[in-house]
């Protein structure tokens, strides 16, 4: 079976091998699924030596940058780890020409990031040059900027303006399973370049560095909204509020807004909370207010009209100007300590614009029905993401029709028995069935999705799967790089240890 909490390992008889952070549980500290031996790689030669060693000893190899992968693809029971965390080089290029490109094809202000650079380090670095990168934003922004985030697609609040991570990369340097160090771009190994842009982390080789284009730093307007109901159940007022928000998503996108809504239970108060974190790049404050304030007014009217048992309370509803993406990001995400040791599971689906526009009520009703799971309705597609030719990168073509990446997630405390975890999984699977039914032709984001996709090849790669697999066979004939539900994993058992 597949394991939803990747550091721990559940045996077929439901006993668990793990090492819990919460020592009061009293369970012995065991290895679980943490790699048993590994290389803290510092140079390309280290990576080449590690790959050659793994090949000659037929080891189960895993590659880790930060270990953030929700599927635990950067660890495996009994595996040999190549840890890329210390590839921290950052190089600016006033003008960059990809290897083999015509001398006229120059990108100004490009940046090369080592495979261990995290998003906060990349955002800090590029800000000193008055530029921005299309990059991940999260608490502490500790996701890798040149590892799994990019190789799986890479979304950002800036994506509706500048595309996904894969639409902004100019070149990869990597080591293949034969130990060969190569450069892949539009002119060198273009098939591999195509596959690396969305074909998934840990699948084609070990990336040592990535070169991105950057964009000018522009001012933006941020919108912040929080409302709550005094209930753990979604009251009619909260349902109405969420439905109204889903109804206007496409309009918000058309006038330059992007961002995320969350619906979650505040454990301290027992209230169900809906919050919005939105940005509108390079818009005037007046323009931005004109498009978001009707939603704030809708919420205020709903709050005034609800009675005590159904009270909706608007906690905050305002916009604010920021002089750059960086200053917005530092206020909302930087400096907050990262959380670790969280156990949980998630599911997601890419919702096409026409599905939302044609039946917003069905979308809202389906998502709200997943509560008490936490909802994240990320409007980070559409715009520039949908203007890219779907076949120009290996990425799941479903991204190009999508407007929203809808996620739900559930957590549980450490030490939870396997039987209880299985019950949670069963409910997650049912939610996924309902979510998929909204847009069966669409797909899911490889990096943030359900561990239980019935057809992962289609869900994560759509009709690009066969080409991705044949490119993988060419560059990784040993099948050294195989990850859960990744390209080529269908040839292996669930533990990715024995060929089918």
Ligand X SMILES: Cc1cc2nc3c(=O)[nH]c(=O)nc-3n(C[C@H](O)[C@H](O)[C@H](O)COP(=O)(O)OP(=O)(O)OC[C@H]3O[C@@H](n4cnc5c(N)ncnc54)[C@H](O)[C@@H]3O)c2cc1C
Length in residues, the chain? 500
- Least Å distance, CB 239 to ligand X, is 27
Min dist. Cβ of residue 149 to ligand X (A): 4
Chain residues 139-198 in contact with ligand X, contact rule CB under 6 A:
143-144, 147-149, 151-152, 154-155
Count of CB atoms situated within 10 Å of the CB of 323: 11
Pick from 32, 160, 199, 201: which binds ligand X (CB under 6 A)?
201
Report the distance separating Cα 37 and Cα 482, nearest Å.
Answer: 18
CB of 49 to ligand X, least distance (A): 16
For the bound state, the minimum distance from the C-beta of residue 63 to ligand X, rounded and expressed in Å, comes to 4
Residue whose C-beta lies closest to ligand X: 201
Distance CA 205, CA 199 (A): 11
Question: Smallest distance, Å, CB 389 to ligand X?
Answer: 20
Asked if 456 is part of the footprint of ligand X (rule: CB under 6 A), the reply reads no
Using the minimum distance from each CB to ligand X, give the nearer residue, 188 or 231: 188
Q: What is the DSSP string of 131-191?
A: EE------GGG-SBSSSHHHHH----TTHHHH--GGGSEEEEEEE-TTS-EEEEESSSSHH
Nearer to ligand X, 277 or 280 (CB): 277
Kindly tell me which of 86 and 311 has the beta carbon lying closer to ligand X: 86
From candidates 115, 184, 238, 314, binder to ligand X by CB under 6 A: 115
Applying CB under 6 A, the span of 133-141, 297-305, 312-320, 393-401 interacting with ligand X comes to: 133-141
Of 153 and 256, nearer to ligand X (C-beta) is: 153
Interface stretch with ligand X, choices 201-209, 222-230, 257-265, 463-471 (CB under 6 A): 201-209
CB 469 within 8 A of CB 200: no
Binding mask 205-224 for ligand X (x = CB under 6 A): -xx-----------------
- Alpha-carbon distance 84 to 352, whole Å? 35
Of the pair 181, 298, the CB lying nearest ligand X is at 181
* The Cα angle at residue 150 between residues 147 and 154, in degrees rounded to 5: 135
Residues 87-106 that bind ligand X (CB under 6 A): none
Q: How far is the CB of 385 from ligand X (least distance, A)?
A: 12
Taking the least distance from each CB to ligand X, the nearer of 200 and 234 is: 200
- CB nearer to ligand X: give 227 or 281: 281
Residues in contact with ligand X, counted by CB under 6 A, come to a total of 32
Cβ(350)–Cβ(460) under 8 Å? no
Q: At what angle do helices 360-368 and 418-438 cross, to 10 degrees?
A: 180
- For residue 61, the minimal CB distance to ligand X (Å) is 9
Q: Write down the least CB distance from residue 156 to ligand X, Å.
A: 6
What is 306-348 written as a DSSP string?
--GGG-EEEEEEEEEEESSHHHHHHHHTTTSPPP---EEEEEE
- Residue 29 contacts residue 8 (beta carbons within 8 Å): no
DSSP-derived 3-state class of residue 445? coil
CB atoms within 10 A of CB 214: 22
Q: Toward ligand X, which CB reaches closer, 96 or 149?
A: 149
User: Closest CB to ligand X among 70 and 193?
Assistant: 70
| Residue 322 near residue 390, CB atoms below 8 Å | no
Cβ 36 to ligand X shortest distance, Å? 17
Least Å from the CB of residue 62 to ligand X: 6
Q: Counting contacts by CB under 6 A, is residue 136 touching ligand X? A: yes
List own/partner pairs for 323-326 with CB under 8 A and 24 or more apart: 323/219, 324/127, 324/132, 324/217, 324/218, 324/219, 324/220, 325/132, 325/157, 325/158, 325/217, 325/218, 325/220, 325/279, 325/281, 326/123, 326/127, 326/132, 326/217
The residue from 18, 113, 483, 487 that contacts ligand X (CB under 6 A) is 483
Report, in Å, the least distance between residue 364 CB and ligand X.
Answer: 23
Least Å distance, CB 21 to ligand X, is: 16
Nearer to ligand X by Cβ, of 310 and 390: the residue is 390
List binders of ligand X among 59-88 (CB under 6 A).
Answer: 62-70, 73-74, 84
- Smallest gap from residue 448 Cβ to ligand X (A): 5
Q: Which is nearer to ligand X, 425 or 476 (CB)?
A: 476
Angle between helix 285-305 and helix 236-254 axes, rounded to 10 deg: 170
List 31, 52, 86, 138, residue binding ligand X (CB under 6 A):
138
Lateral strand order in the sheet of 90-96: 90-96, 107-114, 206-212, 169-175, 181-185
Segment interacting with ligand X (CB under 6 A) among 9-17, 36-44, 130-138, 364-372: 130-138
**158 and 281 in contact (C-beta within 8 Å)?**
yes
With b meaning 16 or more CB within 10 Å and e meaning fewer, what string describes 281-304?
Answer: bebeeeebbebbeebbebbeebbe
Kindly write down the DSSP assignment for every residue of 467-494, as one continuous string. HHHHHHHHH-TT-----TTSTTGGGB-T
50 touches ligand X (CB under 6 A): no
Binding positions for ligand X, rule: CB under 6 A: 62-70, 73-74, 84, 115, 136-138, 143-144, 147-149, 151-152, 154-155, 201-202, 206-207, 447-448, 483
């Amino acid at each position: 079976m597949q394991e939803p909490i990747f550091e721990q390992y559940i045996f077929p008889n439901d006993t668990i091998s793990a090492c819990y952070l919460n020592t009061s549980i009293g369970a012995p500290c065991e290895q679980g699924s943490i790699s048993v031996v590994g290389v803290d790689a510092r140079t390309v030669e280290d990576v080449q030596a590690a790959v050659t060693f793994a090949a000659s000893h037929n080891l189960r190899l895993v590659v880790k940058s930060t270990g953030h992968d929700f599927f635990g693809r950067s660890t495996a029971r009994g595996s040999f780890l190549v840890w890329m965390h210390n590839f921290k080089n950052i190089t600016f290029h006033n003008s960059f020409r990809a290897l083999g490109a015509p001398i006229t094809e120059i990108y100004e202000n490009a940046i090369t990031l080592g495979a261990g650079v995290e998003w906060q380090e990349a955002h800090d670095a590029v800000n000193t040059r008055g530029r921005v990168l299309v990059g991940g934003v999260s608490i502490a922004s500790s996701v890798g900027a040149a590892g799994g985030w990019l190789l799986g697609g890479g979304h950002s609040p800036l994506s509706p303006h500048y595309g996904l991570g894969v639409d902004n990369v100019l070149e990869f340097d990597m080591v293949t399973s034969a130990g060969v160090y190569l450069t892949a771009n539009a002119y060198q190994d273009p098939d591999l370049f195509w596959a690396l842009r969305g074909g998934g982390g840990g699948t084609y080789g070990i990336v040592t560095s990535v070169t991105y284009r950057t964009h000018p730093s522009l001012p933006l307007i941020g919108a912040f909204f929080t409302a709550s109901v005094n209930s753990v159940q979604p009251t009619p007022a909260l349902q109405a509020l969420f439905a109204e928000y889903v109804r206007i998503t496409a309009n918000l996108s058309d006038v330059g807004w992007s961002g995320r809504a969350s619906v979650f239970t505040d454990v301290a108060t027992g209230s169900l909370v809906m919050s919005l974190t939105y940005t509108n790049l390079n818009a005037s404050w007046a323009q931005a207010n004109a498009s978001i304030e009707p939603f704030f007014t809708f919420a205020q009217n709903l709050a005034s009209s609800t009675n005590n048992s159904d009270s909706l309370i608007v906690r905050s509803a305002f916009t604010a100007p920021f002089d750059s993406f960086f200053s917005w990001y530092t206020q909302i995400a930087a400096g907050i300590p990262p959380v670790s040791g969280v156990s949980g599971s998630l599911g997601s689906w890419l919702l096409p614009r026409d599905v939302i526009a044609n039946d917003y009520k069905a979308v809202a009703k389906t998502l709200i029905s997943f509560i008490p799971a936490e909802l994240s309705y990320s409007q980070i597609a559409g715009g520039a993401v949908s203007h890219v030719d779907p076949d120009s990168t290996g990425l799941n073509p479903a991204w190009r029709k999508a407007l929203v990446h809808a996620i739900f997630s559930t957590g549980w405390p450490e030490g939870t028995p396997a039987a209880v975890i299985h019950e949670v999984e069963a409910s997650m699977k049912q939610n996924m069935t309902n979510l998929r039914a909204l847009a069966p032709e669409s797909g899911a984001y490889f990096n943030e999705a359900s561990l239980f996709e019935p057809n992962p090849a289609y869900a994560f790669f759509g009709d690009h799967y066969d080409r991705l697999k044949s490119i993988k066979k060419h560059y990784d004939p040993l099948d050294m790089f195989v990850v859960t539900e990744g390209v080529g994993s269908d040839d292996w058992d669930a533990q990715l240890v024995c060929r089918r």
